[in-house]
Amino acid sequence: MHSRELIETYQSYVQDWRRHFHKYPELSNEEFETTKTLAKELESMGVEVQVDTERGTGLIGIIRGDKTGKAIALRADIDALPVVEHNTFDFKSTVEGKMHACGHDGHMAILLGAAKMLMDMKDRIEGTVYLVFQPAEETGGGAQNFINFGNWFNEIDAIFGGHVWIDLPAGLVSVEEGPRMAASSLFNINVKGKQGHGAQPHQAIDAVVVASAIVLNLQTVVSRNISALDSVVVTVGNIHSGTEWNVIPGEATMGGTVRFFDPTQEEHIVASIRRIVEHTAAAYGATAEFIYENRVPPTINDTASSALAERVVIDTLGVHKLSKMRKVMPGEDFAWYLREKPGCFAFIGIQNPEIDAVYDHHNNRFTMDDSILSAASAVYAEYAIQWLLENK
Ligand code: NI
C-alpha cells in the first residue's frame, strides 16, 4: 500500500482532530491536556508512547517497522498563542484569550494522521519512525529543551517537519533546499539621558529625542550596511519613555528583533547596530546600552533531503501539487534540529478564500482549509518510509 491510497480514508479523521485541538488551545509549556490527549490517541493505535513526565508537556510516539533499519523523526509543534479569537465557527476556541492562531492544531492533526497511515503500512517501514510532539515553539526554547528529553534525538538519523502556510494555496507543498526561514534574534536598548523640566530642555538630555534618533538611524543598518542581494530585517517593536506631559524623561527603553538567513553575517549586523546605538546616543550627550540575544538560527534544508521530499510530493500528490515558494523572514525552532541532523522543513498550503482562510498567522481570524491536511499526513508518512528505504 502507498500513502496516497490513505489520504481519503483519513481525511475526516485528521480534520476532526484539527478542530478538536482548535477548540482547546494551551499556551507554550502549558500543553498538559493536549499532551494527555495525544498520548491517549497514539496508545489507542498501538503506538509506543514516551511522555515528558518531568515537564508534563510534549511526547514521543515510536513506530517500529516490520524490518529493522535506521531511525527518522517526524515533528509537530503543539502550542497556541495568547490571542482572543474572532472567528465564529462552531469549533472556535473555548478558552478566552487563547487561540491556535499559528496552525499548530493542524500540525498535530497531520502527525496523528501520519501515525495512522504508518501503522497501516508497517510492512513497508524498514527502521523506526519517531513522532515528535514538541511544546513551546512560539516562545522559543521548546526545541532545545526537547532535544534533551530522553534519548530520541541521539537515536534519529534524520528529521522531517513542516508548517501550514497561509500564503500558499490549499493543497500545495513547498520543500525547496537552502534557507527557508530566517534566524530570529531579539534586542533591548537602554538609553540614559538626564531628566528635566519640559520647559527647560537645555538643562536636560532628552531620552525621547535620543531614542527617536536611534530608531531612524537604525534604518541604515539594512539599507547601507548589508548587500542589496541579502535579506535582513531590523525592527524596533517597542519604545517606552516618560509618563508626564511636562517632564523631559531621562530614560528610554526599546526592544526589537533582527532576522537574517546567513549566519556568517550575524557579527557584522550586530556590530553595525551596536555602533549606531552607542554613537547616536553619544552625539546627543547620552549613553545607550545594547543587549542582543539570538533565539533561533536559520532553518536550512539540505540538498538531498529536499530532493527526496520533492520526489515524495510528486509521487504522493502529483506534480501539480509541488509548489515553489520564496523563503520567509519569520523564525522556526525546527532550525535547532536541522543544525545537527539532515532533514527538510516543508510549507503546506492552507489558503482558501472561499472559507475565509486568508488571514495571516497570529491574526485573530486565522484559519485554514483543513480538508487538505490528510494529504500532508501522506507526505510525512511517505517521506519517513522512503528515507528509511533509501538510507539503509
Ligand atoms: Ni507556527
Determine the distance separating the centroid of ligand 1 and the alpha carbon of 202, expressed in angstroms: 49
pLDDT at res. 141: 82
Per the listing, cell 517593536 goes with: 237
Q: What percent of the chain has pLDDT over 70?
A: 100
Residue-wise pLDDT for 363-379, tens only, equals 999 999 999 999 999 99
Q: What is d(CA 147, CA 128) in angstroms, rounded to the nearest whole number?
A: 18
Q: What is the mean pLDDT of residues 275-282?
A: 98
Summarised one tens digit per residue, pLDDT across range 13-70 is 999 999 999 999 999 999 999 999 999 999 999 999 999 999 999 999 999 999 999 9
Q: H helices of 226-368, where?
A: 266-283, 303-317, 334-340
Distance from Cα 95 to the centre of ligand 1, integer Å: 19
Task: Report whether pLDDT(219) > 90.
Answer: yes
pLDDT attached to residue 65: 98
How many A from CA of 284 to the centre of ligand 1?
Answer: 41
**What is the CA(163)–ligand 1 centre distance, in A?**
7
Domains of the chain: 3-180+299-390 (3.40.630.10), 183-296 (3.30.70.360)
CB 236 within 8 A of CB 213: no
Longest dimension (CA), the chain: 82
Banded model confidence at residue 140, pLDDT cuts 50, 70, 90? confident
Please tell me the predicted confidence (pLDDT) of residue 23: 98
DSSP state of 239: E
Ligand 1 mean position to 69 CA, how many Å?
Answer: 32
Neighbouring residues of 97: CB distance < 8 A, sequence distance ≥ 6: 82, 83, 84
**Distance in Å, CA 242 to ligand 1 centroid:** 35
| pTM attached to this predicted model | 0.94
What is the helix (H) or strand (E) element at residue 63, kind and residue range?
strand 59-64
Pairing of strands 178-181, 299-301: antiparallel
State the Cα–Cα distance between residues 282 and 262, nearest whole angstrom.
31
State the amino acid at position 6 in one-letter form: L
